[in-house]
Amino acid sequence: MLQRRGEPLTDVGDWASQFIRGDSVNSEIYTSPAIFEREMQKIFYGTWQYVAHESEIPKAGDFVTRRIGRQPIVVVRGDDGAYRLLMNRCRHRGALICELDHGNQSHFRCFYHGWTFENTGKLVHIPKDDAYPADFDRDAFGLTPVPRVDSYRGFIFASVNPDVASLREHLGLAASKLDYMIDASPTGELILDGGTHKTSFRGNWKFVGMDGYHPPVVHQTAFEIFRRNAALENPEVDAKAAQAPRKTMNDSPLAVSRDLGHGHAMLDVVPHRISEQEHHLEATRYMPGGQEYVAAMFAAYGPQRGAELIAVGGDPHLGLFPNVQMINQHVRIVVPVAADRTDVYLYAARLGGVSDEFNEIRLRKHEEFYGPAGFGQPDDTEIFERNAEGLQAIVNPWIDISRGRNREYVDDDGSIVGKISDEVTQRGQTREWARLMSTP
Amino acid sequence: MTGTHTVDVWRAVEQFLFREARLMDANDYKDWLDLWAPECTYWLPCNDDNADPHEKIALIYDNHRQLEDRVWRLSGLHAHAQRPKSRLSRVVSNIEIELDDGTEVMVHSAFVLCEVRKDQTHWWAGRNLHILLRGDDGFSIKLKKVMLANNDTIMPNLTFII
């Protein structure tokens, strides 16, 4: 490990430098409608966004509707088997051609004047088309494709900026971190069909960061409940754990916050969990369908990698700038609505090649913490709203994100690393925010 | 089966649901928990009233132990989303007994609920399905399924008892 320090937030670009001074950030970036509008143009229409997962549209005709920033799109698998991202806008006068959240259709008909498109985007019907000349070029009036589309192992990303760099370049070090989530399945299949928690809060989208400092404070009640229940559910595992007390994340040198570059950030507890893999293996074997799962993982990946993947539990705890996080059993899309309003969608993932009972346990674990009525996420929502209220006090508008900069270092792969509770992640996200916001 | 039960049964069921509503409105978690049978399910489907909980996440899918956890959490000072607590007022109506086999009573109802917390007012509405068990001390809840009208759209925190 190199011990070179990470840099303070200098050279953030001319525009951003008015809001960022070293480790201080002006809270106006969380409250200003004008800055939010600039974010729409420079970030949400400038870089890559995660939009959907291929498992959501397995069959010809399957579609989901999503947004890139404010722009509505349809992610649809055509009858030719290929998936496409099409602007959800009729080529005639611009009404939505699809009003549903998801479904399966061979055609999309705009119910304003009846223009009808195949699920490949091709225009196939114009009512009363005698009003157009015989050589009217219908093929030029297909649904408009999203300019840039690419994917990583089923995760579909898109950009409305035709000049954006490649997705591989954008994901960089973060790409391989996604593998932890996908390879929790012995068949390498992530299936995002477990249902969607649709939540909202009155606050800025950037509050949904990747923060390893808050859990013991915000989620004190949830952790207490989980601790008690672990003891109830498998007393033998718990008794063993009591004999060899496990390090908490805060104390472990193996649980770190990581800035992966391009604003991607990770609460990297992978080495910590692998160091306790015997405990995780035993706990997994106690779960319904657990023995079978461990055997399938060992067969698929070999005992060493299999045990590591089980220990990691499919949780990369990864945030890809600007709009998606992969956490525990779900993929989370952050939708910016206004400077003071954010919608958050949590898509629960099931694992391919795994028994129904094992997948069901994962769903139950998800809803116990997440969603509008879980034991964890509502407290995050509450704190985000308190944050939005507090930031209205602008006599001194500066917030501090210096935590742990005195002890962060640059890892061999070039990522910047600090302790789990350090603000390495916030600095990484802010650096990318500043870079994009300062583009001409 | 509707209409074949006696007025006495109908009255008893109605009074039980009204009592439950009053305890929920008062955030009286402990007495509300006492209404439940030891083996029970408190279920709020997500996305679709008929979503199979074995294959899909719910908003809430609690057994009795999780109900106890929920009540424990809400009773302390660190369930931030309920500090301050929601003030609640609800109407339960359209009570309809679908089945009464002498042991269990299956009851449909509808509710409209006003939640006021800090500077926000939220209106919630939906349908309930209760399966009530008859016991020596009256009814206890074996199943409560709450089908929110807004369970497939973005929603704010739902951290009070509904």
Whether residue A52 contacts residue A64, with contact meaning beta carbons closer than 8 Å, is answered with yes
pLDDT at position A236 is 76
Contacts of A28 (CB under 8 A, 6+ apart): A19, A35, A394, A397
A173 reaches B (C-beta below 8 A): no
pLDDT grade, residue B56 (50/70/90)?
A: very high
Whether residue B96 contacts residue B107, with contact meaning beta carbons closer than 8 Å, is answered with yes
CA A398 to chain centroid? 28
Contact B59 A379 (CB under 8 A): no
Mean pLDDT taken over chain A = 95
Partner-chain residue, chosen from A101, A200, A383, that has the shortest CB–CB distance to B155: A200
pLDDT grade, residue B3 (50/70/90)?
A: low
Whether residue A387 contacts residue A203, with contact meaning beta carbons closer than 8 Å, is answered with yes
Using alpha carbons, list the distances in angstroms from residue A360 to A260, A364, A367, A373, B57. 32, 6, 11, 18, 9
How many Å lie between the alpha carbon of B87 and the closest alpha carbon of chain A?
Answer: 16
pLDDT at position A245 is 61
pTM to 2 decimal places: 0.96
Q: How many beta carbons lie within 10 A of that of residue A114, not counting itself?
A: 13
| DSSP calls for A251-263 | T-TT-EEEEEETT
Residues of chain A with Cβ-Cβ distance to B149 below 8 Å are none
Residue of B nearest to A361 (CA): B54
Partner-chain residue, chosen from A221, A232, A367, that has the shortest CB–CB distance to B78: A221
Parallel, antiparallel or unpaired: strands B138-148 and B36-45? parallel
B91 reaches A (C-beta below 8 A): no
The predicted-structure confidence for A204-229, as pLDDT tens digits, reads as follows 999 999 999 999 999 999 999 998 88
Residues of chain A with Cβ-Cβ distance to B51 below 8 Å are 195
B58 reaches A (C-beta below 8 A): yes
Residues of chain A with Cβ-Cβ distance to B153 below 8 Å are 198
The predicted-structure confidence for A347-364, as pLDDT tens digits, reads as follows 999 999 999 999 999 999
Partner-chain residue, chosen from B51, B70, B158, that has the shortest CB–CB distance to A372: B158
| In the predicted structure, residue A155 carries a pLDDT above the cut 80 | yes
Contact A221 B73 (CB under 8 A): yes
pLDDT at position A81 is 98
B59 reaches A (C-beta below 8 A): yes
Q: How many beta carbons lie within 10 A of that of residue A335, not counting itself?
A: 20
Residues of chain B with Cβ-Cβ distance to A65 below 8 Å are none
| In the predicted structure, residue A247 carries a pLDDT above the cut 80 | no
Whether residue B73 contacts residue B57, with contact meaning beta carbons closer than 8 Å, is answered with no
CA B5, CA B100: separation in Å to the nearest integer? Answer: 7
| In the predicted structure, residue A239 carries a pLDDT above the cut 80 | no
Residue of B nearest to A217 (CA): B78
Interface test with A, best of B24, B43, B44, B46 (most A CBs within 10 A): B46
Residue of A nearest to B162 (CA): A373
Sign of the torsion formed by the C-alpha atoms of A45, A50, A53 and A54: positive
How many Å lie between the alpha carbon of B58 and the closest alpha carbon of chain A?
Answer: 7
Whether residue A338 contacts residue A350, with contact meaning beta carbons closer than 8 Å, is answered with no
CA B67, CA B81: separation in Å to the nearest integer? Answer: 17
Burial of A168-198, coded b for 16+ CB within 10 Å and e otherwise, reads eebbebbbebbebbbbbbbebbbbbebbbbb
pLDDT at position A237 is 72
Whether residue B141 contacts residue B134, with contact meaning beta carbons closer than 8 Å, is answered with no
pLDDT at position A1 is 47
Whether residue A378 contacts residue B59, with contact meaning beta carbons closer than 8 Å, is answered with no
Residues of chain A with Cβ-Cβ distance to B59 below 8 Å are 197, 367, 371-373
Instruction: Name the region of B143 (left: φ>0; alpha: ψ -120 to 50; beta: rest).
Output: beta
